[in-house]
């Protein structure tokens, strides 16, 4: 995060505490380096749903735009579902849609929504296992 460099040491320590990152006693630069290292080691989330392997970027569930799209879909705006899927699945989106499509190559919105929900549920379990 670019703003880290502009933070004071107490702000850096607060950020680290909120993200459960242990900081060394030391200089501001050493604390920033520890945060950068911790942020770089989260790794992607790998889950399998309906026999389809899905890899989610580690930060996708901590992304404001993703949360906004999830909220819109949760509020019943299913027209946002394809955009949310592209945001969540990235380049895998096409492969996933091919895997859940019918014989005519169409993906039912209900199937896409259910698949997405099950990916979130599996991701939650994966995140809990990592913590």
pLDDT beyond 80 at 96:
yes
Render pLDDT for 99-131 as a digit per residue (tens, 0 to 9).
Answer: 999 999 999 988 998 998 899 888 876 655 554
My answer on whether 16 and 50 are in the same domain is: no
My answer on whether 76 and 123 are in the same domain is: yes
My answer on whether 9 and 69 are in the same domain is: no
My answer on whether 72 and 100 are in the same domain is: yes
My answer on whether 11 and 57 are in the same domain is: no
Render pLDDT for 47-92 as a digit per residue (tens, 0 to 9).
Answer: 899 999 998 887 787 789 999 999 998 898 989 999 999 998 888 8
My answer on whether 34 and 65 are in the same domain is: no
My answer on whether 108 and 78 are in the same domain is: yes
pLDDT at residue number 59:
75
Average pLDDT over residues 29-47: 78
Judged by DSSP in three states, 24 sits in: coil
Threshold 0.95, pTM exceeds: no
Whether the CB-CB separation of 36 and 44 falls below 8 Å is answered with: no
pLDDT at residue number 130:
52
My answer on whether 31 and 92 are in the same domain is: no
Q: Which long-range contacts (CB under 8 A, 24 or more apart) does 49-56 make?
A: 49/115, 49/118, 49/119, 49/122, 50/99, 50/100, 50/115, 50/118, 52/96, 52/99, 52/100, 52/115, 54/89, 54/92, 54/96, 54/119, 55/92, 56/88, 56/89, 56/119, 56/123
Domain span holding position 31: 2-40
My answer on whether 60 and 26 are in the same domain is: no
Number of domain units in the chain? 2
My answer on whether 75 and 94 are in the same domain is: yes
My answer on whether 26 and 78 are in the same domain is: no
Reference 5, options 41, 34, 39, 29; nearest CA is 29
My answer on whether 70 and 101 are in the same domain is: yes
Reference 112, options 45, 52, 57, 44; nearest CA is 52
């Amino acid at each position: 995060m670019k703003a880290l460099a502009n933070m004071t040491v107490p702000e850096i320590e607060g950020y680290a505490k909120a993200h459960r990152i242990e900081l060394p006693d030391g200089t501001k630069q050493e604390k920033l380096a520890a945060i950068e290292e911790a942020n770089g080691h989260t790794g992607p989330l790998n889950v399998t749903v309906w026999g389809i392997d899905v890899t989610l970027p580690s930060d996708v569930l901590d992304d404001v735009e993703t949360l906004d799209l999830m909220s819109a879909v949760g509020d019943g705006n299913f027209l946002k579902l394809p955009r949310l899927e592209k945001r969540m699945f990235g380049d895998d989106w096409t492969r996933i849609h091919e895997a859940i499509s019918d014989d005519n190559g169409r993906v039912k919105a209900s199937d896409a929504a259910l698949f997405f929900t099950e990916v979130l549920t599996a991701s939650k379990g994966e995140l809990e296992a990592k913590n």
